[in-house]
Amino acid sequence: MTRQISLGSVKVGGGAPISVQSMTTTKTADVEGTLAQIYALAAAGADVVRCTCNDQDAAEGLAQIVPRSPVPIVADIHFHVEMALAALDAGVHGLRLNPGNLRKPEEIKLVASEARDRGVPIRIGVNAGSLHPELYQRFGGATPEALVESARQELAYFEEVDFSDVKISVKASSVATMIAAYRLAAETFDHPLHLGVTEAGPLPGGLLKATAGIATLLAEGIGDTLRYSLTADPVEEAKAGRQLLEALGLRERKGLDLIACPSCGRAEVDVIKVANEAQEALSALNIPLQVAVMGCVVNGPGEARHADLGIAAGRHRGHLFIQGQIVRVVPEDEMVDALVDEAKKIAAEGVAARLAARDAHAEEEAAADRALLLDDKGLDANRSNERIARIRRRGES
C-alpha cells in the first residue's frame, strides 16, 4: 500500500478510494469560464481538477477560483518557477511539476520548501514527450527505466529539503511503455501513483488506449488516482474515469449503468435504438441504477437478473422487470417511457415497494410470450433436442 497524501479534502493513496482528475481547457485568467468548466467536471465525476498556471494573469485567476471551486485545484507548472510560487500564494491545493521542463535543482528545491511549509503536495509529472535530454540519451529513448529515473532524481531533490508529500506519474503515449513504467514505479516508490496514457488522442481511439493502460494497472492493484488525457471536452475525461472505476467495482455507482445485449436473430426490436434512447433518457435522471435493455424475452430477464431494472422485448411488447422479477408488460412503443417511469419510482419508493406493487398478471403474460417464442426461435432453434436424442442413442448402443 502506498503512503497517503491530501489534496484539500481528497485523500490519495494509503487505501483511499481511487480519485478521478481532469484538467480545464479554458484560460485560467477567465475566472467565470474556468469555474463553469470546473463545476461541469465535478458533476461528471472529477474529484480533483488541474488548471494551468502559465502567467501572472492565470495566477491571479487561481486566487479567485480556488475559494469558489467545488473540488480541490492543482496548478499545472511547466517552465517558470515563479508561477509555482505564485500558485502557492493563490492557495492551490496541489502543484504538478514536470521534471523535464523545470530543471534547475535550486529552483526545484525552492518550490518543494515552499510547498512543505504550506502543507501542499506536489505531483512529479514525468512525461515521455518531455524527458530530460541527458536521460533520453543515457537510456536510449523514453524507456520505462528512463521515466522512473526522472522521477527518482526529482524525488531526491525533494528529500534534500525534507519534503515527501508527493505523488508520481510516469506517463507515455505508448500503452505498453506506460504500463511497464508504472509497474517499475510501483516497485521503486511507495508514493501514490497518478495513472494516465498521455496524449491518448480523440474519441474513440483515445478512450480505448487510455482504458487499456489504466484498467490493466488498476486490475493489478497499481494506481491511486487517474486522468484520461483525451482530445475532447474534458467532461468526457471525467465521465470516462468515473465509469471505469464503477465498472471495476472500485467506486460506488454514482449514476446510470446501462447494460444491453448485442442483439441476435431472436430480437424483435431494434435493440441498439432502444438502448440509445434509454441511455439518453435515463442519464438525465442521474439516478444510481443499473438498467438492462434486452432484445429477447426468452433469456433477457434471467441474464440481467442482477440489474436493478430492465426491459426485455418480444412479440411487440416489453417485459419490465426489477431484479429479474417481471412487474409489468407494456406495448413496444412505451418501453423507454416505462423504464424512465419505473426508475423514478424506484428512486422515490425503493425496490421492495415497487416489487410489491407489481401487476399480478405480469408474470403470466410474460410466460405466454416466452412460450410462443420458444416454439418459434427460442431454445431449440438449433434443433438441440434432436441432437441430444441422437447422442443418447449412441451412448446406449
pLDDT of residue 379: 47
pLDDT of residue 381: 45
Cβ 127 vs Cβ 98: under 8 Å:
yes
Domain with CATH 3.20.20.20 in the chain: 5-247
pLDDT of residue 374: 65
pLDDT of residue 298: 63
Look at residue 257 and give its three-state secondary structure: strand
pLDDT of residue 372: 75
Domain with CATH 3.30.413.10 in the chain: 257-377
The whole-model pTM stands at: 0.85
Look at residue 297 and give its three-state secondary structure: coil
pLDDT tens string 121-138? 999 999 999 999 999 999
Torsion of CA 124, 129, 130, 132, to 10 degrees: 100
Per-residue DSSP letter, 302: H
- Residue ranges in the chain whose pLDDT is less than 50: 378-381
pLDDT of residue 300: 64
* CATH classification code of 5-247: 3.20.20.20
Query: Beta-strand (E) ranges in the chain?
Result: 5-7, 10-12, 19-23, 48-52, 73-77, 94-97, 122-127, 166-171, 194-195, 225-227, 257-260, 290-294, 309-314, 317-322, 325-331
Whole-angstrom distance, CA of residue 386 vs CA of residue 106: 82
pLDDT of residue 266: 64
* CATH classification code of 257-377: 3.30.413.10
Residue pointed to by grid coordinates 467532461: 235
